[in-house]
Amino acid sequence: MRLHLQVVSGSRGLRSHSVSQGPGLLPLHGDLQHERHRPEVTLCDRPDSFNGHGYHVFQAIRFGIEEINNSTTLLPNVTLGYELYDVCSDSANVYATLRVLSRLGTDHVEIQEDLQHHSPRVVAVIGPDSNRQAATTAALLGPFLVPLISYEASSTVLSVRRQYPSFLRTIPSDKHQVEIMVELMQSFQWVWISLVSSDDTYGLLGVQALQELATPRGICIAHKAMVPSSAQVGDERVQGILDHLIQSKATVVVVFSNRQVAWVFFKSVVLAKLTGKVWIASGDWAISTHITNLPGIRGIGTVLGVAIQQRPVPGLREFEEAYARAHKVAPKPCLGGSWCSTNQLCQDCQTFTEHTTPALGAFSMSTAYSAYQAVYAVAHGLHKLLGCASGACSKRQFYPWQLLEQIRKVNFLLHEDTVTFTDVGDPLGGYDVIAWDWSGPEWTFRVIGSSLRSPVHLDINKTKIQWDTKDNKVPQSVCSSDCLDGYQRVVVSFHHCCFQCVPCEAGTFVNKSDLHSCQPCGKEEWAPQGSHTCFPRAVVVLTWREPIGWVLLTANTLLLLLLLGTAGLCARHLHTPVVKSAGGRLCFLMLGSLAAGSCSLYGFLGEPTPPACLLRRAPLLLGLAIFLSCLTIRSFQLVIIFKFSTKVPSFYHTWVRNHGAGLFVLVSSAVQLLLCLIWLAVWTPLPTRDYQRYPHLVMLECTEVNSPGFMMAFAYNVFLSVCAFACSYLGKELPENYNEAKCVTFSLLLNFVSWITVFTMASVFQGKYLSVLSVLTGLSSLGSLFGGYFLPKCYVILCRPDLNSTEHFQASIQDYTRRCGSS
């Protein structure tokens, strides 16, 4: 059925005025084409197929045209005419499109060589509503550049200007709708969802765009299904989809579908008693009473949706009521070819009012406003093209492509709403996020957020949502629950949303920007196992200001003072038998070497510096080597004097004549000095920050620990200690005043224990306690050697002067000689 409503002002009374015509492609009747098995022409005037939604769009277009024609400023001497076509099916849509391209007064399309000069019977087309039909019409009109403005086709494909150069729309594209859906899911942290679409361009492209945008943002698709256009309630295919949804852990289900398929699907949902889900509705059915009037629909769960922002057409309701009242009065006959007032019914128009005028619902209201905007967009394009700014439209002849250029440039206010188009023909309008509300006796919806244009930013008022859950809590929709802090997500399936929680190793942490891997801490940081952040490492160094530092400083200073005091005491009693038996002037070398070692211990206090690292251990090892060399040669000297002088006199005289004692000390000390120099030259001790030994500490120390040079120098001191012990053991039968085997053995034994302790405890103690242990080891080693050798001498000098006499030592030698002679 073709509906042809024309209101055209001819030459009568307005001879100088120009005339423009525009068609509307509207679905005034339903379509049952999906039930057919072969294509055929559809008759639109079937009984019980009236489309109330299309009726409101039809009235909005008429109302807009009447307002424009009654305006004295927009198109002052131009009257818009229109043709309205009922595109209830694809065949009716193709017929209407071809009719649009034909010349006025003919029934065929004349293809000219230059399409820019083609003059069809109309200059602009409004509609159709569906994406499929809009794509067909846009493809046919595109080569002729006839403007096509759709009020409901939202597919993103239609925004491709190369394919559809003359297409524009007053409804936002699905790209914007999909972005809002993803933002909505992210705001509630829903990452495990199911997708259901209708088997058409609207549903398939919408779900594809949603999946492409959601996946990079961490949202996983648990299940994706398509409801065929021919599906019926109780269909096995629909039941299979419902079985998957029932078994799935995904609480959120996005239904991107047209109204007809959504009706079949939710009728099946109600029959299957599927509840407890959160349904996210696409704009085509979000606020459609076609769905909300289903019996039992309020029990399916929580429904959130994306809907075109509500904009009423002021005066449309009154216009429709006047139209209905006009039908009750016997209409005057409308002769073919004549023109009737827009408030007077023609015979061809009576079909509309045979039905009860449907209520103007929210969905129809928003669509009617989009069609109303489209009418005004064409009018404003004509205003610019026809030169109507001076109060009269001056231009007469123009072509559709010229009007298309002007429509793309329009920018005007319509009831405080800006109407303009982007480069791809999309409007600047946006979407509302709505929530179904069943708190009252009838269904309604609440606007909980909105977004005008890209980039999408949602400000959702979550308190307006009545969740279909216990205690009105926000439902969760995840495959795996969030991990505790410090646990990484290890994916266990194809989807990254399904994972196990594994604690991070020590020294690593989980960054909130990447929950699937543990990131290493910085060099100056550390983290225990299962940590979500790193902590600064404690810098460890033994300082002068700490109590333990003061104790060690005091102890070392006391030792140094004892060494100096002993040196003074030996100098004062240099010619006494006790000092001579201790080595005479050699005592000063021995005490000096111990003092040098004691001074090196000060290098362990404070932050390491290059000079401190050089003087920290080398002087100590060198001083101990000199002392042990002197101790060895002193013991060996006594053995030579008492045993070899009489038994091997030639060896004794050679030893004395060549200054064997001094030469041995010199050579032995030179060897250790050479080892230390090699150590300092090849393995130079330098300040370092050790990050490896302890994970939570930064050790400020020198690099000489366990270096080959240090170990060689230390091994040489061990060798000298063994030599000193062996020589003192050989003199265990010497006179009592010269026999120091017990003291030497004790001091060397204590020295061994000190060094063994430092190597053993290095694996137990941490941080600055290692420096403390090193200082204590040095103090005990120096103190044991000093105490074992010099303290008995000091005791005799100070407390037993009677033993520090020549007579006492001679008596001791005589007694030793007598024992040796008797043996």
36 within domain boundaries: yes
Helix (H, G, I), strand (E, B) or coil at 34: helix
The residue among 104 and 132 whose pLDDT is bigger is: 132
Predicted confidence band of residue 461 (pLDDT cuts 50, 70, 90): confident
Q: What is the DSSP letter of 334?
A: -
Instruction: Mention every residue, 6+ apart, whose C-beta is less than 8 A from residue 171.
Output: 150, 151, 152, 153, 154, 308, 367, 370, 427, 429
Lookup: tokens for 418: 């800006």
Cβ(97)–Cβ(141) under 8 Å? yes
Q: What is the pLDDT of residue 772?
A: 82
Share of the chain above pLDDT 90, in %: 19
Are 629 and 731 in a shared domain? Answer: yes
* CB distance 475 to 278 below 8 Å: yes
State pLDDT tens for residues 59-111. Answer: 889 899 989 988 888 888 888 888 888 887 888 888 888 888 886 656 667 66
Place of tokens 């068609």: 23
In three state form, how does the secondary structure of 680-712 look? HHHCCCCEEEECCCCCCEEEEEECCCCCHHHHH
The identity of residue 519, as a single letter, is Q
pLDDT band at 118 (very low <50, low <70, confident <90, very high): confident
For residue 175, name the pLDDT band (cuts at 50, 70, 90).
confident
| pLDDT score recorded for residue 345 | 39
pLDDT of residue 20: 45
What pLDDT shows up at residue 642?
59
Domain-embedded: residue 103: yes
623 and 681: one domain? yes
CA separation for the pair 144, 166 (Å, rounded) = 8
283 and 135 in one domain? no
Chain segment 637-663, per-residue pLDDT in tens: 766 665 655 566 666 667 666 677 788
Q: What tokens were used for 588?
A: 């000063």
**Token pair 């030996």 is at which residue?**
570
Length of the chain: 823
What average pLDDT score do residues 254-282 get? 92
**Mean pLDDT of all residues in the chain?**
80
111 lies in a domain? yes
φ, ψ at 811 (rounded to 5°): -60, -40
Beta bridge partners of 445: 436
Specify whether 562 is located in the same domain as 518.
Answer: no
- Residue 283: give the domain boundaries: 174-311+430-472
Q: Is residue 13 part of a domain?
A: no
Write down the pLDDT at residue 489.
86
Same domain, 444 and 364: no
Give CA–CA dist 343/539, Å, rounded. Answer: 90
**DSSP class of 609:** -
Query: For residue 351, is pLDDT > 80?
Result: no
C-alpha of 763 from chain center: 41
For residue 291, how many C-alpha atoms fall within 13 Å in the half-sphere facing its CB? 30
Strand 411-414 with 417-420, pairing: antiparallel
- Same domain, residue pair 637 and 785: yes
The whole-number average pLDDT for the span 389-403 is 83
Give yes or no: residues 591 and 638 share one domain: yes
In a domain, 778, yes or no: yes
Chain-centre distance for alpha carbon 322: 59
Asked, for residue 481, whether it belongs to a domain, the answer is no
Predicted confidence (pLDDT) at residue 273 exceeds the cutoff of 60: yes
Q: Which two tokens stand for residue 171?
A: 């409804």
- Of the candidates 319, 349, 351, 355, the residue with the CA atom closest to the CA atom of residue 334: 349
Q: Is residue 6 part of a domain?
A: no
Distance between first and last Cα of the chain: 149
Is 664 found in the same domain as 551? yes
In this structure, are 165 and 179 located in the same domain? no
- Residue 641 DSSP one-character state: I
Whole-number Å distance between alpha carbons of 104 and 487: 74
Whole-number Cα distances in Å, 520 to 486, 538, 657? 12, 18, 70
CB 504 within 8 A of CB 533: no
pLDDT of residue 819: 55
Where is pLDDT greater, at 626 or 730?
Answer: 626
Among 278, 216, 271, residue whose Cα is nearest residue 249: 278
Query: In this structure, what CATH number is given to the domain that contains residue 276?
Result: 3.40.50.2300
- Cβ(198)–Cβ(256) below 8 Å: yes
What per-residue confidence (pLDDT) applies to 35?
44
Residues 567 and 524 in one domain: no
Contacts 24+ apart (CB under 8 A), 434-439: 434/286, 434/287, 434/304, 434/305, 434/306, 434/307, 435/302, 435/303, 435/304, 435/305, 435/464, 435/465, 435/466, 436/292, 436/302, 436/303, 436/304, 436/305, 437/466, 438/298, 438/466, 439/466
564, 621: one domain = yes
Residue 105: what pLDDT?
56
User: Is 157 domain-assigned?
Assistant: yes
How many Å apart are CA 400 and CA 375, to the nearest integer?
Answer: 15
pTM: 0.64
Domain harbouring 664, CATH code: 1.20.1070.10
What pLDDT score does 703 carry?
A: 76
Task: Give me the number of domains the chain comprises.
Answer: 4
Q: Are residues 24 and 159 in the same domain?
A: yes
Answer whether residue 336 shows pLDDT above 50. no
